[in-house]
Amino acid sequence: MGGGAVTRFLLVFAAFIAALPLPVPAQAQVIIAHRGASGDRPEHTLAAYELAIEQGADYIEPDLVPTKDGVLVARHENEISDTTDVADHPEFADRRTTKTIDGVEVTGWFTEDFTLAELKTLRAKERLPAIRPANTAYDGQFQIPTLAEIIALARAKEAATGRLVGLYPEIKHGSYFDALGLAPVDALLATLKGAGYTADDPVYIQSFEPTALTQVMFRGREMGVDYRRVQLLSEEGGPADAPQLSYAQFLSDPGLAQIARYASAIGVEATLLVAADGTTTDLAARAKAAGLDVHAWTARAENAFLPAPLQSGADPAANGNFATLWALLGRAGADAIFTDNVAEAIAARAALRN
């Protein structure tokens, strides 16, 4: 979430808390481990996913980007200088370059310029060291995981616990990778089907790009697998694959009706569920009237990401009142919430159910 969005988020929830009695009833029940238990381990590592499952997450969420040889791996972005030690590898110094990704110029190292074998020589590091200094103790310990490895972990945990572990993969920069001939949708569908996942299993596929989701729908049906799809939406901007459109158009009643033709849910920025004056918006009601579930991103426990009334002090890395944040998002109409802090979400959900 950018600085402007954070400011709006603070204003929204400060007003919301002041206007409403607490505790507030919860609607949100589903816990999506955002990049794993990324508040406790470096994101998008097997350790983060394993901990999230052990803590009780309903779904684990990998962001997916392809390697040069077409293997899907879990990274927040295809540019990996912030999440790996690639800059410390002199053998890859000449891979540093500048590219335009979805209209934005980015300099660094990119997954599509590395084979899987080369990426496996790198090690993950904490993306937010100033906010999550405890996670830096794990820097250098974990490899970049493939989607297949994440699935194997989930299956092993299911066998050990008897509890289903949902998958909630995001297709990152689908149109960009399609133009390179890497076809991430095809790779994702083939991997899921090959692992035995059917439309009845707990799987959601998400993207900010409607093209990727319609590819999932049509190609999946051709393969006999019709996985649930989620259109991601933010308060500002628009999809990279349809620059003539804005997310605001998608959020109109006609836009929601169109989304319902190819998706079962919307995944929205939290500020879209609460108005600037602190009251809930009508988005959740309108989306549900169109036949769409509403998922919200992203609940985080640290003061740096919390509205001012929920902060515990001046230290941005200290945890604040996450339970109230969870309750407020539920009251705003979220059916599911992405969170970096699974243990805190489990506790907050349990408290509201009692």
DSSP 138: G
Contacts of 37 (CB under 8 A, 6+ apart): 48, 49, 51, 52, 55, 57, 340, 341, 342, 343
What token pair was written down for 35?
Answer: 């990049």
Contacts of 4 (CB under 8 A, 6+ apart): none
Please tell me the predicted confidence (pLDDT) of residue 20: 44
Mean pLDDT of the chain: 92
Neighbours of 253 (CB within 10 A): 11
Q: pLDDT tens, 297-348? A: 999 999 999 888 889 999 999 999 999 888 888 889 999 999 999 999 999 9
174-183 long-range Cβ contacts below 8 angstroms, 24+ apart: 174/207, 174/209, 174/211, 174/212, 174/215, 174/241, 175/102, 175/209, 175/211, 175/212, 175/240, 175/241, 176/101, 176/102, 176/240, 177/65, 177/66, 177/112, 178/211, 180/112, 182/66, 182/70, 182/112, 183/70
Neighbours of 63 (CB within 10 A): 20
293, 347, 332: which is closest to 24 by C-alpha?
Answer: 332
Q: pLDDT tens, 71-121? A: 999 999 999 999 999 999 999 999 999 999 999 999 999 999 999 999 999
**Distance from C-alpha of 220 to C-alpha of 216, rounded to nearest angstrom:** 5
What are the Cα distances from residue 185, in Å, to 107, 109, 165, 205?
25, 23, 21, 10
Q: 292 pLDDT band (50/70/90 cuts)?
A: very high
The position carrying tokens 């489990």 is 346
State the average pLDDT over residues 285-306. Answer: 96
- pLDDT reading at 237 higher than 50: yes
Q: pLDDT tens, 125-152? A: 999 999 999 999 999 999 999 999 999 9
Neighbours of 50 (CB within 10 A): 19
